[in-house]
Amino acid sequence: MKSIRVFFLTAGGLGYAPIASGTFGSLPPVVIAFVLAMLGQSVWLISLVMLLLMLVFSIACLRFGNEAETLFGRKDPGQVVADEVAGQSVALLLLPWADPSIPGAFWQNLLLAVGAFLAFRFFDILKPPPASNLESLKGGLGILVDDLVTGFMALVVVQVVARGLFLWQFPPGA
């Protein structure tokens, strides 16, 4: 397997973390989204970056998942964290990031980033149905799809909680 494949499948080597490789693999989208929010980038740009991350790392899983299982000698190997990058990216879509010029924006954005991270890890570890049923799919599809579903579950929870907490920031009809 070529090094570029391993680079994407292991999210730049984060999949080689001796413990909690999935947790480490979930961090890049969280850090990127938070930094972009604190740089004053729009929700749309942050979401576009998250969609691109999801797409690139999903393609890596789908394209090289079978090879990864052969290389690492087991189904859904822990070293492969491209699925975590993709799933975590879903959990960060269209969140109500605060403009950094607003007082309290740092804490709101940090709360959103940490909340999305914790929600995704919770659902990814717990694997409630239908996510648990999808792990049985073969190859890259089985590696990836359960994480996309748990990412969506986390997204729903974070959106509901965040919009409830920060409701005062949204004008009626927004």
Domain definitions of the chain by residue range = 3-167
pLDDT digits (tens, 9 = 90+) for 133-174: 887 788 889 899 999 999 999 999 999 999 887 765 654 544
pLDDT digits (tens, 9 = 90+) for 38-80: 999 999 999 999 999 999 999 999 999 888 877 887 777 788 9
What's this model's pTM, rounded to 2 decimal places?
A: 0.91
Q: Would the CA dihedral through 103, 107, 113, 115 be positive or negative? A: negative
Cα dihedral: 70, 140, 18, 10 (round 10)? 100
Rounded to a whole number of angstroms, the distance between the first and last alpha carbons of the chain is 48
